[in-house]
Structure 1
Amino acid sequence: MTWDEKIKDFEIFLRFERNFSENTLDAYIRDIKKLKDYAVEELDGVGPEAITYDNLQEYIFKLSKQKFSERSQARWISSIKAFFKYLVEEEVRNDNPSSLLEGPKLGLYLPDTLSLTDIEKIIDAIEKNSDLGKRNHCIIEVLYGCGLRVSELIDIKISNINFKEKYIKVSGKGNKVRLVPLAQYTAKLLKEYINEVRSKLKINKKHEDTLFLNSRGTSMSRVIVFIIIKELTDKAGVSKKISPHTFRHSFATHLLQNGADLRFIQEMLGHSSITTTGIYTHLKTEELRDVILNFHPRNTNFAG
């Protein structure tokens, strides 16, 4: 993992999920590149996955001695906090070294979650009679039905899909392999896409086993998947900020709401730590709070 790779991913995230203006986007990326330079020159090249709170604090202290305005200093901290929150969200890190930095309070980031109604609206917005629409329908169903990361989605190999036993073998972060259950409905859509759409393409030899292909017969990029989802979301009139990861969040949240054990969800998501999966319990906590407020004798007896 390198700074440049993660900075590029962060830039895509800010552009397509957060809809940052070009000026704000440029400022944030410029700030993180300065931090990268500091890490390379002063910290023996420590990477974004290993840099510590003390490292960040020392970096901010040195910058503050250069007589920059308070507004600039506040933006550096805001940029750094956003970057490391993103790394936690993407499961690059289990901890956030910027959380204790003094600066603007951005609040706890909890992922947006789609309701089943939202998901149906997005799927209804797809032109399912076209080859492109059939492919995009499969992409949405796999993201939501299997809870995959976008990087895992675009790397799916046909040879890793077991239609008989109904699972997909997925290679996740750190090359950790897991078996993700495949719903019968999703399996049916995938078979139709492979047999009726993908079979028509002139496929590049290097991508003969890649499931999702672009019109040139090569693998799709993360950016294209972001764009597809943004266009469908706008067409469906769903106002939430949605990315491929939103469907992964929704997959996990809906499983939890319907009674699935958190450890099973952890396995299906490919989280190395249960604490990472625990972010989804925020909805369960809210539900429990409502139950207590509405039904606990201490509240009902003294209502009014």
Structure 2
Amino acid sequence: MKMTYVLPQTGSTENEEQENWDGRFGDFLIDLQTQEGLTDLTIRQLQLHLRAYDAWLKELGQCWTSARREDIQEYLQQVRDHRSASTLRSKLWSIRRLYAWAGENSIVTVPSCWLTVARRSYERKRMVVPSSRQLQQLLELPDTSTDKGLRDRAVLELLYATGMRAAEILSIKLHQLVKDRCLRIMGKGQVERLVVYGEEAAYWVAQYKAKRQGMLQAAGHSVIATQQLFVSMGKHAAYQYFELRRMICGYARRLNMKLTPHTLRHAFATHLYQGGAALRTIQLLLGHAQLTTSTIYISRKVEDDQKMIRTHHPRGESYKPYRRW
């Protein structure tokens, strides 16, 4: 039986959704999701990129299957000139994957040389990771005398305690919580891993869980409307990514900081490293296939390197020789 791709809900009407949507895009997204196990957030981003690309071509009287080299190049050039480098990489990746799939399915063949664009020379922005003291201030901001504040505190504590991705924490189901303070989750690429967390996070999750049903009912939802651990007090029963990001950004602004859910993942890795955790351990906890990927998540500071030299180098002030025998 052939599967059909259902468009994710947005603020536009169904007719507006279908206007810039080629049915073959749905087949492409289904194949990508089933074969590679991409998250819903990644699929959603792909859908938005495809719709934008297709709408741009239609203004030129073209279709994505008949686009010329100059059409594709002009589109990518406009993205390069008006959007960030990360957006360019994301859109370019989406278009390349689309045409690779189209070639495999004998829809259209586009030479790979058409799907390139000269990048602007830029310095890669280094993520500013908050200190452990700043994170403590952030964790204490939610008003835990309210149900919403309890949920926010539980989410923040669990994010910082585990380094989970936003999509991973939003997908946690009630039945996954166990007494041993560990979670078996399905990460990026449908790779399963074990996530552990401490007593502080466990305490706040338990406090929130006691109020969870009341939150659903107060928002007009059935207590069985969703099995996701974290729920919303809005029109959706399950907590959504935009709500998570807005919550973290809102608390961060009160501290004159700019934070996102992904920043907490970086902070988790950096603070573990500063505390002496081995890179291999951090790699396992983050769920990375390659060690080099984990090193990107660690913001090393000069003072950390100086402390390491003072402690571990024979010429260091605090060096203590280690003798095996």
For normalisation by structure 1, the TM-score amounts to 0.66
Which one has a larger percent helix, Structure 1 or Structure 2? 1
RMSD, aligned α-carbons: 4.3
Matched, 1:232 2:251: yes
Cα separation, 2, equivalents of 1:40 and 1:285 = 49
Gaps of 5+ in 2: 1-27, 33-39, 92-96, 98-115, 316-325
Any idea what SS the aligned residue of 2:183 has?
Answer: strand
Q: 2:241 corresponds to which residue? A: 222
Q: Which amino acid aligns with 1:166?
A: R
Alignment partner, residue 198 of structure 2: 183
Structure 1 residue 284, shift from structure 2 partner: 5.9
Aligned equivalents of 2:277, 2:307: Cα separation in 1: 20
Alignment CA distance shift 1:7-1:180 (3 Å) = closer
1:122 Cα deviation after fit:
1.7
Higher relative contact order (CA 8 A, sep 6+): 1
CA contact under 8 A between 2:213 and 2:223: conserved in structure 1?
no
Query: How far apart are the structure 1 equivalents of 2:66 and 2:231?
Result: 43
Q: Which residue of 2 aligns with 1:41?
A: 65
Q: Provide the residue aligned with 1:141 in structure 2.
A: 157
Q: Which amino acid counterpart does residue 122 of structure 2 have in structure 1?
A: L
Question: For residues 11 and 234 of structure 1, what CA distance do their matches in structure 2 show?
Answer: 31
Letter in 2 for 1:283: R
Letter of the 1:199 counterpart: Q
Q: Say which SS state the counterpart of residue 245 (structure 2) adopts.
A: helix
Amino acid corresponding to residue 155 of structure 1 in structure 2: S
Select which of 82, 86, 95 maps to 1:82: 86
Which of 208, 218, 227 aligns to 1:209? It is 227
Distance 1:40-1:184 versus aligned 2 partners, 3 A rule: farther
Structure 1: which 5+ residue stretches go unaligned?
A: 13-28, 44-57, 65-71, 88-92, 94-99, 299-304
Which secondary structure does the structure 2 equivalent of 1:178 belong to? strand
Query: Residue 199 of structure 1: CA displacement?
Result: 3.2
TM-superposed CA distance for 1:9, in Å, is 4.0
Contact 2:79 2:88 in 1 (8 A): no
Q: Which SS does the other structure have where 1:179 is aligned?
A: strand
- CA distance in 1: counterparts of 2:70 and 2:283, whole angstroms: 35
| 1:249 alignment counterpart | 266
Q: Which amino acid aligns with 1:41?
A: T
Offset of residue 108 of structure 1: 2.1
Distance 1:258 1:42 in 2: 56
Aligned residues: 247
- Quote the residue 1:63 is aligned against: 74
Alpha-carbon distance in structure 2 between the residues aligned to 1:5 and 1:35 = 21
Q: 1:290 to 1:258 in 2, by over 3 A?
A: closer
